[in-house]
Structure 1
Amino acid sequence: MKRIATALILMSGSSVALADGWSGDVTAGLIMTSGNSETTTSNGKLKLAYVTGPWEHSSHLSFTQARDEEETTAERYTVGYKADFSFTDTDYIYFAADWQKDLFASVRERTVETVGYGRRIFNTDAHQLDLEAGAGARQNEYAEPPDSRSDDFVGTTGLDYAWTISPTSKFTQTLLAEYGESNTYTESVSQLKLSIIGNLFAALAFTARHNSVVSEGNEKTDTETSINLSYEFGKADP
């Protein structure tokens, strides 16, 4: 964690030269324990966004890995892309593609492609709220029985909320629900960012994921709590 903090602090003291329209952030965390038990939990995330005219392109990738002694106990990867086209100040259409792989969950791999409509309910200096509804296709791969798969049509709803509490703190909340014949998947991510120096933040996040159908012996709900360092680039210093 000390090495991660040093690297991000050095980044915060330098300017990141990006072309107009580009922005993003990188988040990383590492927790290590020793003594009666030796565990290591690491996670990271990269987000990129590019805005040009009515188009906004965004992408993200993330990983989480936990090890106990010499054994990996959790391992999860996600990759996603989304394109928004705004046809009014408050309305837009979008295309999104997401891929997730979780080596220890009942649903081992999940791929979703959707199109839909979004509306910005309000957009002030302090609060922004977007609501979305869409439809598309989903492909699931399950842990049990081995190599079993399902392909189905899904309907989706989403919420994206941001609250700028002060120039140095911000709260965000996202909600996603996918409704399909084989499974209903929901995901909630709550995050609080507190400025440390420049564009370097402490990020506290809580994530909950729920599958309505799981293999025997698996929990339907997984939760994840993280405390990380986050660096924003392509944006003005707070």
Structure 2
Amino acid sequence: MAVRPIPEEAPPPPPATPPAPALTGGGELGFAAASGNSNNESFNGRLDLTYNDGSAWRHSASLFGLHSRSEYTRTQEDGSVVRDRRTTANRYTVTANSAYKMDDRGTLNTSVRHEEDDFGTYSRQQSVSLSYGNRVIENERAHLDLQVGPGYRRAYDTVDGRTEASFIGRGLIDMRYALSENTEIVNKLLVESGEYNTFAQNDLGVSVTMNSHLALKAGWQARHNSDVAPDIKKTDTLTTMNVVYRFK
């Protein structure tokens, strides 16, 4: 009787190669100047970086700056006319975030934000928070991320000349939607609410891609502080038209 050979077992598949670390991001820049009867200059810029180390961790950082100044004429008491230069806006914000991917959609996030604003009720704000995030929508055209959690904030009130510190609740809504192959709309809403003040900032932008690296972006930003001096508006807005450079 013939003996059938025992079939050899297929070798186990090779282990999956983890993705290589990657740094992605982009920067945008906008500048406007007017001269003649009045001289005005305005500058705004942003830099966004994201680093994936090939594991469950993802790190990101963002830097935003705004500066504006104008030149104007002033009549002195003796009747002479002089030209003065005055800064009308000077603000920068630095944020950093580290996210640990818990599953396909959930993340555990630590966030830090530092802001300096020469013309705001709060000339300096720092906050740190721990939050849970979830990507509630993800498909070829859109994604929607939500984050919520506790934190701690320190802010210097320039009107009262004191530093206010309190625990806060932090929420973030980050949405991105592709209108077409080269047009995209993004919106990010950040809310930090504490005992002394509720801070909210919404950034809305529409970008049109020109090539693999360059795009044009129209942006609208609204910032709100609930506790301000009586003669200061609670909400500030900023409209920009910037050139964006992206790298992968």
Query: Same fold by TM-score, threshold 0.5 exceeded?
Result: yes
Trace 1:117-196 onto structure 2 (pairs within 5 A). 117-146=132-161, 148-196=162-210
> Is 1:68 equivalent to 2:82 in the alignment?
no
The aligned counterpart of 1:102 is: 117
Q: Deviation per CA, 1:111-158, whole angstroms, max 9, x where unpaired?
A: 000001001001101010011101110000111123x11000000111
The aligned counterpart of 1:45 is: 46
The aligned counterpart of 1:225 is: 239
Deviation, 1:102, is 0.5
Contact kept, 8 Å, 1:143 with 1:215, in 2: the verdict is no
The aligned counterpart of 2:5 is: none
Alpha-carbon distance between aligned partners in 1 of 2:173 and 2:225, rounded to the nearest angstrom: 18
- Partner letter of residue 192 of structure 1? V
- Aligned-partner SS, 2:210: strand
Runs of 5+ consecutive residues of structure 2 not aligned to the other structure: 1-19, 72-84
The aligned counterpart of 1:23 is: 24
* Cα-Cα RMSD: 1.1
The aligned counterpart of 2:100 is: 85
Alpha-carbon distance between aligned partners in 2 of 1:104 and 1:122, rounded to the nearest angstrom: 38
User: Which structure has the highest helix share of the two?
Assistant: 1
Alpha-carbon distance between aligned partners in 2 of 1:45 and 1:74, rounded to the nearest angstrom: 16
Contact kept, 8 Å, 1:138 with 1:151, in 2: the verdict is yes
Q: Deviation per CA, 1:172-217, whole angstroms, max 9, x where unpaired?
A: 0011111100001111000111112331011111000000000231
The aligned counterpart of 1:59 is: 61
Higher relative contact order (Cα pairs below 8 Å, separated by 6+ residues) = 1
Q: Deviation per CA, 1:42-86, whole angstroms, max 9, x where unpaired?
A: 011111101132111000111100101121000001111000111
The aligned counterpart of 2:12 is: none
The aligned counterpart of 1:12 is: none
Alpha-carbon distance between aligned partners in 1 of 2:46 and 2:191, rounded to the nearest angstrom: 21
Alpha-carbon distance between aligned partners in 1 of 2:94 and 2:115, rounded to the nearest angstrom: 7
Deviation, 1:20, is 4.1
TM-score between the two structures when normalised by the length of structure 1: 0.88
Which structure's CA Rg is the greater one? 2
Alpha-carbon distance between aligned partners in 1 of 2:93 and 2:226, rounded to the nearest angstrom: 20
The aligned counterpart of 1:203 is: 217
Runs of 5+ consecutive residues of structure 1 not aligned to the other structure: 1-18
Alpha-carbon distance between aligned partners in 2 of 1:176 and 1:59, rounded to the nearest angstrom: 15
Alpha-carbon distance between aligned partners in 2 of 1:114 and 1:71, rounded to the nearest angstrom: 36
- Partner letter of residue 25 of structure 1? G
Alpha-carbon distance between aligned partners in 2 of 1:108 and 1:129, rounded to the nearest angstrom: 32
Identity across matched positions, percent: 29
Alpha-carbon distance between aligned partners in 2 of 1:168 and 1:20, rounded to the nearest angstrom: 27
Alpha-carbon distance between aligned partners in 1 of 2:178 and 2:40, rounded to the nearest angstrom: 35
- Partner letter of residue 29 of structure 1? G
Alpha-carbon distance between aligned partners in 1 of 2:185 and 2:107, rounded to the nearest angstrom: 24
- Aligned-partner SS, 1:197: coil
